[in-house]
């Protein structure tokens, strides 16, 4: 038997003995001062001995309850904070969409002679970020394949697949599958024509080749679409010449053009047809 067990047994015996003597004292009206004092002292000692663990457990229970209450409060605060952050992010997205839409509507006046429609981007996935996006315009809106798509001030792609309610846009940053678009370069007093044939991911530039002139083309020269091919709407902004890569023949030069449009944040679009 260990010390704690012995202490419990001795304490229990003393407690029973003390209560027995106290009972006799009360019932028989015996007055034993020394005995009464000893009994009261023993009872007080035992009461203190027993009450201390009880108070300790009660205090610890209060501490645990406070910790649990604090945990619940922190959990609720975190949930509220997370909800608030989500609402702020959603509000920021709506603000950017509205700003983009106002800019797009302002651009519509530039193409008064063209067949135009204003739409919003409904899907743009990370896996196809540089190749494709989906807009909320489709067959019901009279779209046709290869119509030009403009956003953020410049050409971003062409209509590739059309469905009833939506359409897929093939972006010009799709380096593996670029739509060839006729372009016009305004170099001084003359216009030079060529074809947008690719996209260079290293310099983030459009590549224009098959130039019809050997005239000098300074850096910063403006580049727009051309209607020489017949079906492509003209004068849609593309970008400005960044560098000219020369070869053995000036006709085989390649122009690297910095896009006017910002491809990072595309929220609204202007779909442009030839209007004929």
Q: What is the pLDDT of residues 101-139, one digit of tens each?
A: 677 776 767 777 788 899 999 999 999 999 999 999 999
Q: Nearest CA to 267 among 34, 47, 91, 96?
A: 96
Residue 241 has pLDDT above 90, yes or no: yes
Q: pLDDT per residue over 162-176, tens digit each?
A: 999 999 999 999 988
Q: What is the pLDDT of residues 242-261, one digit of tens each?
A: 999 987 666 688 999 999 99
Question: What's the rounded Cα separation, in Å, for the pair 253 and 216?
Answer: 11
pLDDT at 62: 72
Over residues 169-188, the mean pLDDT reads 89
Written as six digits, the tokens of 19 are: 């209560």
Closest by Cα among 18, 15, 43 to 32: 18
């Amino acid at each position: 038997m260990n010390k704690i067990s012995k202490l419990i047994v001795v304490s229990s015996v003393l407690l029973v003995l003390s209560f027995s003597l106290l009972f006799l004292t009360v019932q028989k009206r015996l007055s034993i001062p020394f005995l009464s004092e000893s009994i009261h002292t023993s009872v007080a000692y035992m009461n203190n001995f027993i009450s201390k663990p009880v108070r300790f457990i009660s205090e610890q229970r209060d501490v645990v309850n406070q910790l649990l209450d604090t945990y619940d409060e922190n959990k609720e605060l975190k949930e509220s904070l997370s909800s608030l952050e989500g609402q702020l992010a959603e509000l920021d997205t709506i603000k950017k969409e509205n700003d983009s839409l106002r800019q797009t509507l302002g651009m519509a006046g530039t193409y008064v002679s063209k067949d135009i429609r204003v739409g919003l981007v409904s899907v743009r996935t990370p896996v196809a970020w540089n190749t494709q996006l989906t807009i909320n315009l489709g067959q019901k809106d009279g779209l046709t394949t290869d119509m030009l798509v403009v956003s953020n001030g410049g050409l971003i792609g062409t209509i590739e697949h059309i469905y009833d309610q939506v359409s897929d846009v093939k972006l010009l940053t799709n380096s593996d599958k670029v739509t060839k678009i006729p372009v016009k370069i305004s170099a001084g007093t003359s216009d030079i024509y060529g074809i947008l044939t690719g996209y260079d991911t290293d310099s983030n530039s459009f590549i224009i080749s098959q130039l019809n002139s050997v005239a000098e083309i300074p850096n910063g020269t403006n580049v727009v679409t051309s209607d020489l091919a017949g079906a492509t709407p003209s004068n849609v902004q593309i970008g400005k010449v960044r560098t000219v890569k020369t070869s053995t023949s000036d006709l085989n030069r390649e122009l690297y053009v910095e896009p006017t449009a910002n491809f990072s944040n595309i929220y609204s679009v202007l779909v442009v047809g030839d209007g004929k």
